[in-house]
């Protein structure tokens, strides 16, 4: 793999850009791999990358039924933060946030990480108490956050109306090193690095069955033939229940649509990310000038990747009171993603009842921000059978009642 650099750009400019290589290979699948990862989204690719980088396991296939990064990785609002309440959550999200800091250098691929700061608004007295509690918990966890008053909120984000009659701003939880990254670039960067290590990324290849023998996984059946493996990692977000059923076990999750939209581009007016959980909306401005707006999940189970006018109206109507300037903008495009939500609003990173089969699911609306931390932890779990970052996120917690309640810190959809 040729390294990307300013010198490479200059060289290719003189050669009319004829020397660029494909970012990753698209090989035919082999008959057997040491590890198969189902799902070529951010989490699946990150798992494969850290299997190779941290554990030297490169005989890996990443299988994707569609195109690389075509699921939730390419359908989110790119927010990165780690200001979670519970210790296990803060640990894995802070690991992810710290890895985002150096990801562009590590992958030799610009993921456009922008630590612009994330502000979570407190618009009720209940939220004030909740975020103050989170700020204290973050201090004990070593996660740098602070609770700020309403006037400081106004100074950080001047376009905000803090005196709204229905949703006044009483303060906010601010994480200065939170921010955003380019979601597609994260998937592409990991894919390029995995391919360079000799891993196979197999697109347009749907898994139709999981082969089992003696209580252990032996391989998968796909639309491109049977592929054997020693270990299997299922990382398919909203389709987790479907693939788990093939493997012979059930998951305590439900799949719902999460919608978002962007406005027409405008001049720079907002340099942070704002989350308004009371009104179920969050807002940032992209590098192209679009106002990126996200809302809550649908109130019913579904597998659609389309938006709906009703949900957009509900989200934007409430946000306009806090951000009056939004009322003058036109919507440019709208989309939906399928998210998988657990009862305690925390993910599942776990061994499964099927031997040598592992599951990464249940991220709900928090998946993008966790990609590198999730991949790091899952790679360790698959390679060694244990990871400190995944220890509390096992499937057995639902049977034993050891819930990791993130119903407040997890955000607007929960």
Provide the residue-wise pLDDT of the chain in tens; the chain has 414 residues. 888 999 999 999 999 999 898 999 999 999 999 999 999 999 999 999 999 999 999 999 999 999 999 989 988 999 999 999 999 999 999 999 999 999 999 999 999 999 999 999 999 999 999 999 999 999 999 999 999 999 999 999 999 999 988 889 999 999 999 999 999 999 999 999 999 999 999 999 999 999 999 999 999 999 999 999 999 999 999 899 999 999 999 999 999 988 899 999 999 999 999 999 888 789 999 999 999 998 878 777 888 877 777 778 888 888 898 999 999 999 998 888 899 999 898 999 999 999 999 999 999 888 999 999 999 999 999 999 999 999 999 999 999 999 998 875 554 433
- The stretches of 197-239 forming alpha helices (DSSP H) are none
d(CA 46, CA 365): 18
Contact by Cβ (8 Å): 368, 76: yes
The number of beta carbons lying within 10 Å of the beta carbon of residue 287 is 11
- pTM higher than 0.85: yes
> Tokens 């608004």 belong to which residue?
121
pLDDT at 130: 92
Query: Cα 116–177–149 angle (5° rounding)?
Result: 80
Contact by Cβ (8 Å): 162, 153: yes
> Tokens 């989170």 belong to which residue?
134
The number of beta carbons lying within 10 Å of the beta carbon of residue 163 is 11
pLDDT at 295: 84
Domain ranges of the chain: 21-82+84-108+183-252+344-400, 118-182+255-342
Query: In this structure, what token pair is assigned to residue 209?
Result: 């069955």
Q: Are strands 273-276 and 118-122 parallel, antiparallel or unpaired?
A: parallel
Give the CATH number of domain 118-182+255-342.
Answer: 3.30.9.10
pLDDT at 409: 56
Which is the CATH superfamily of the domain at 21-82+84-108+183-252+344-400?
FAD/NAD(P)-binding domain (3.50.50.60)
């Amino acid at each position: 793999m040729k390294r990307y650099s300013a010198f490479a750009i200059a060289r290719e400019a003189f050669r009319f850009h004829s020397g660029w290589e494909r970012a990753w290979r698209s090989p035919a699948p082999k008959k057997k791999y040491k590890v198969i990862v189902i799902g070529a989204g951010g989490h699946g690719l990150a798992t494969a990358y850290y299997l190779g980088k941290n554990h030297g396991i490169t005989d890996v296939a990443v299988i994707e039924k569609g195109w690389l990064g075509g699921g939730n990785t390419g359908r989110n609002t790119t927010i990165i933060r780690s200001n979670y309440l519970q210790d296990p959550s803060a640990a894995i999200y802070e690991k992810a946030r710290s890895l985002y800091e150096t990801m562009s250098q590590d992958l030799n691929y610009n993921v456009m990480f922008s630590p612009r700061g994330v502000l979570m608004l407190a618009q009720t007295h209940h939220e004030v108490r909740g975020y103050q509690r989170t700020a204290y918990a973050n201090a004990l966890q070593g996660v740098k956050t602070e609770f700020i008053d309403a006037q400081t909120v106004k100074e950080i984000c001047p376009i905000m109306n803090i005196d709204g009659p229905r949703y006044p701003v009483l303060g906010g939880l601010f994480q200065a090193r939170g921010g955003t990254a380019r979601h597609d670039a994260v998937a592409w960067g990991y894919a390029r690095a995995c391919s360079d290590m000799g891993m196979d990324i197999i697109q347009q290849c749907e898994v139709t069955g999981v082969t089992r023998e003696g209580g252990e996984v032996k391989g998968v059946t796909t639309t491109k033939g049977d592929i054997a493996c020693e270990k299997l990692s299922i990382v398919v977000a909203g389709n987790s229940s479907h693939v788990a059923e093939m493997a012979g076990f059930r998951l305590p999750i439900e799949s719902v649509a999460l919608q978002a939209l962007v406005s027409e581009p405008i001049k720079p007016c907002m340099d942070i990310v704002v989350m308004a959980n009371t009104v179920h909306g969050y807002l940032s401005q992209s590098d192209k000038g679009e106002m990126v707006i996200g809302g809550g999940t649908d109130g019913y189970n579904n597998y659609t990747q389309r938006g709906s006018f009703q949900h957009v109206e509900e989200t934007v109507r409430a946000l306009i009171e806090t951000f009056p300037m939004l009322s003058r903008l036109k919507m440019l495009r709208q989309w939906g993603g399928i998210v998988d939500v657990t009862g305690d609003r925390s993910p599942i990173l776990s061994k499964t009842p099927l031997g040598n089969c592992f599951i990464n699911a249940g991220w709900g609306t928090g998946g993008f921000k966790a990609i590198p931390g999730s991949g790091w932890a899952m790679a360790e779990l698959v390679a060694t059978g244990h990871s400190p970052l995944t220890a509390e996120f096992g499937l057995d917690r639902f049977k034993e009642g050891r819930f990791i309640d993130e119903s407040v810190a997890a955000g607007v959809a929960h």
